[in-house]
Amino acid sequence: MELRLGLALPTPPFDTNGSCSSSSSSSGGVGGGKKRRCFDEESRVGGGVPKTLHLLVWNTNRRDDGDEPRDLDDNSSSVVLNEEEGLVGWPPVKAWRKKLRRHNGRPNNNRIAAAKNSCGGCRASNSTYVKVKLEGNAIARKIDLSVHRSFESLTATLMRMFDISEEHQQKSFRLAYQDREGDWLLAEDVPWGTFIRSLKCIKLIRSRSC
C-alpha cells in the first residue's frame, strides 16, 4: 500500500537527478547497504522554502560536483561504522544503566548479567577516555585509549603522563584495571583485546615484592 503524496503547494520542482554521491554509506548494515538510489524526477518538496534568509539558494539543477565533500571517505571520523569495535552510542541506551551494574556482585543468570552490563560491553561503544589513577596521587588523569594498540604504547604514555622517567621507577609499577563487575585485576594477565573490552578504569600500582 503506497502512500500517495498529494502536495498542493506550488513549489519549484526539484530535479533530484543531481549529483548525490554515495559518500558515507560505504559500509552497509543489514541489507547490504544497497539502497535504492533512483529519485522520482517529479518529486516535489512539501512546504515552502523559508521566506527569510537563505545563505544558499536551493537549486540542484546544475551538477555541483565541486561542492560535494569528496574527501569524506578519506576522513575516518565521518564513518563511525567500525564492525570490529562497534558503534559509539548505538543502540541509544543510556550509558548510566551500566553503572548500576557496577556494584552487583551476584549475577542471577550469566546471560542476563551480561545483558545488564552490555551497555558497557564494547569498550569502544563508550567514550574512549578512561580514568587513570596513580597509587598515592589524589588527582586522577584521563587517557584516550583509542590511540593505543598495545600495552607497550599505553604504559609508555602513562609513564610520561605521571613523570615517571627513571627506569627503575618504571619497573616498580604495575598496570591494574577495574572491570565492569567492579573487580580489580592485573593487566598483565590478559591479552590486550580482553583488557580493552572489559576495563572501566586503570590504576598504576606499586608492585610489592610478591
Partner 1 sequence: MHKKTAFSFPDEVLEHVFSFIQSDKDRNSVSMVCKSWYEIERWCRRKVFVGNCYAVSPRMVIKRFPEIRSIELKGKPHFADFNLVPDGWGGYVFPWIVEMAGAVPWLEEIKLKRMVVTDESLELIAKSFKNFKALVLSSCEGFSTDGLAAIAASCKNLKELDLRDCDVDDLSGHLLSHFPDTYTSLVSLNISCLGSDEVSFSTLERLVCRCTNLRTLRLNRAVPLDKIANILRRAPQLVDFGTGTYAADLRPDSYSDLAGAFSSCKELRSLSGFWDVVPDYLPAIYPVCSKLTSLNLSYATIQSPELIKLVSHCPNLQRLLVLDYIEDSGLEVLASSCKNLQELRVFPSDPFGVEPNVSLTEQGLVAVSSGCPKLQSVLYFCRRMSNEALVTVAKNCPNFTRFRLCIIEPRTADYQTLEPLDVGFGAIVQYCKDLQRLSLSGLLTDRVFEYIGTYAKKLEMLSVAFAGDSDLGLHHVLSGCESLRKLEIRDCPFGDKALLANAAKLETMRSLWMSSCAVSFRACKLLGQKMPRLNVEVIDERGPPDSRPESCPVDKLYIYRTVAGSRFDMPPFVWTMEDDPSLQLS
Binding status of residue 48 toward partner 1 by CB under 8 A:
yes
| CB of 111 or CB of 208, closer to partner 1 | 111
Which parts of 68-127 interact with partner 1 (CB under 8 A)? 68-69, 71-72, 75, 77-81, 86-96, 99-100, 102-104, 106, 108-109, 111-112, 114-116, 118-119, 121-122, 125-127
- Environment class of residue 74 by beta-carbon count within 10 Å: exposed (0-12), middle (13-18) or buried (19+)? exposed
Among 13, 17, 41, 49, indicate the residue that binds partner 1 (CB under 8 A): 49
Q: Is 37 helix (H, G, I), strand (E, B) or coil?
A: coil
Binding status of residue 60 toward partner 1 by CB under 8 A:
yes
The CB-of-208 to partner 1 minimum distance in angstroms stands at 27
The CB-of-2 to partner 1 minimum distance in angstroms stands at 7
Among 45, 159, 161, 205, indicate the residue that binds partner 1 (CB under 8 A): 45
> 16 with 53: CB under 8 angstroms?
no
Instruction: Write the DSSP symbol of residue 32.
Output: T
If binding means CB under 8 A, how many residues of this protein chain bind partner 1? 82
| CB of 49 or CB of 186, closer to partner 1 | 49
Instruction: Write the DSSP symbol of residue 51.
Output: S
Binding status of residue 3 toward partner 1 by CB under 8 A:
yes
The CB-of-27 to partner 1 minimum distance in angstroms stands at 10
Distance CA 115, CA 6 (A): 46
Please report where in the chains the cell 600495552 appears, as a residue: 151
Going by C-beta distance under 8 Å and a sequence separation of 6 or more, which residues neighbour residue 113? 101, 104, 107
> 129 with 145: CB under 8 angstroms?
yes
